[in-house]
Amino acid sequence: MREAAPSPLDLLIVGQGLIGSLLAHAAADAGLDFLVVDDGHQDAASLAAAGLMTPFTGRRFSAPENLEILLDAAKRRYASLSERLDAPLYRPQPMIRVFTLYEEHRRHARQRQTHTGARLLGPIRATGEGPTGMPDPMGSCRIGGGGQVDVATLLQRTRTWLAASGRLQQARLEPAALELGAEGCHWNGHPAHLCVLCTGHQARHWDAFRALPWRLSRGQALILRRNPTMPTEIVHAGRTLAPLDKDRAWFGATYQHDLDRREPDPEARQTLLDEYRRLFPEAPAPEVLDQIGGIRAGSRHGPPFAGLAPDHPALALLDGFGSRGTLLGPWHVDRFVQRFINETLAPLKP
């Protein structure tokens, strides 16, 4: 008697970084049948991030459109995941922004004129009112509304949850191994209606997505042992110092365009140590516990990539979140799932 062919999955999710993990949870909430294929977090940029969710970033105090909606979606998602995975994955945490250019004062004032900026951006503090032990000749301000996501715990607990439910297969899915057809796809005995790549920069090697406007950079950061002279809040002044727990702090990150080097870079380490001494000139030299890094995959046009391959309706991409995945991810992932259910996912355009 011939064995019956397996029923097609709704989604074959490739990659279990932050976005792949969020997609798995959103798919489960929607009652979809799915499998996650992951190679064990090799070269995962998610694990190198500090997990910061900051509303306003950069010298321009830039903020994404629909910031309030994005913040609400992210906080609700991380609260629900904290319950599902039985771990405190998110904590509200303001950032102290130390100005490094007077031009930033004008950008700050402009954002303060918006409804969201007036609520989340504090006034400029006078010199000497910034973080203890940190020079602030141009003043500083407080940015509220954000926080920190414990990405490492989220990924580890999600992996355990997926394995326990039989929804995880540890493997590297190569493009040649995925069979694509008009009605769906097939990989390693698993038919599915849609294969979704959440693999970060690796997705750019797939022919269907090479022409997209990728913005790639390699970032490295240091994990430092916390000492009593370090601020207790997140501080940003060109570089960011963020407490991870009572014993460790994250400091970084660099922006490099050499994507081929994977090992820790001594030059990047020294650059970050020099920057730390510049920001905290009276503090003792920090003890470096680790040097971590990964390749950020962003979009030059701004919004992340969320749609179908132009020539393959059974292949999709959910990627290109850059350094803002913790903030942008939950809302975009939820919208992607709803569009899949409603059959309104559109092809991506180069």
**Tens of pLDDT along 240-276?**
999 998 999 999 989 888 776 767 889 999 999 999 9
Q: Give the SS3 label for residue 98.
A: strand
User: Around Cβ 320, how many Cβ atoms within 10 Å?
Assistant: 31
**Is the peptide bond between 268 and the residue preceding it cis, with omega within 30 degrees of 0?**
no
- Write the CB contacts of 205 (distance below 8 Å, at least 6 apart in sequence): 175
What pLDDT shows up at residue 100?
A: 92
Smallest Cα–Cα separation from 134: which of 341, 291, 262, 276?
A: 276
Tokens of 143: 């940015």
| Sequence-ordered strand ranges (E) for the chain | 9-14, 34-38, 52-53, 90-92, 95-98, 140-143, 147-149, 168-170, 179-181, 184-187, 190-197, 214-225, 234-236, 240-243, 248-252, 288-299, 305-309, 312-319
Cα Rg of the chain, angstroms:
21
- Burial of residue 290 (CB within 10 Å: 0-12, 13-18, 19+) is exposed
Which amino acid is it at 181? G
Report angle CA 303, 73, 40 to the nearest 5 degrees.
Answer: 70
Q: What is the pLDDT of residue 302?
A: 83
Residue 46's pLDDT band, with cuts at 50, 70 and 90, is: low
Q: 2-11 pLDDT, tens per residue?
A: 455 678 999 9
Domains of the chain plus CATH, in order, are 9-49+152-213+301-341 (3.50.50.60), 93-146+214-298 (3.30.9.10)
pTM higher than the cut 0.75: yes
Average pLDDT on 109-138 reads 93
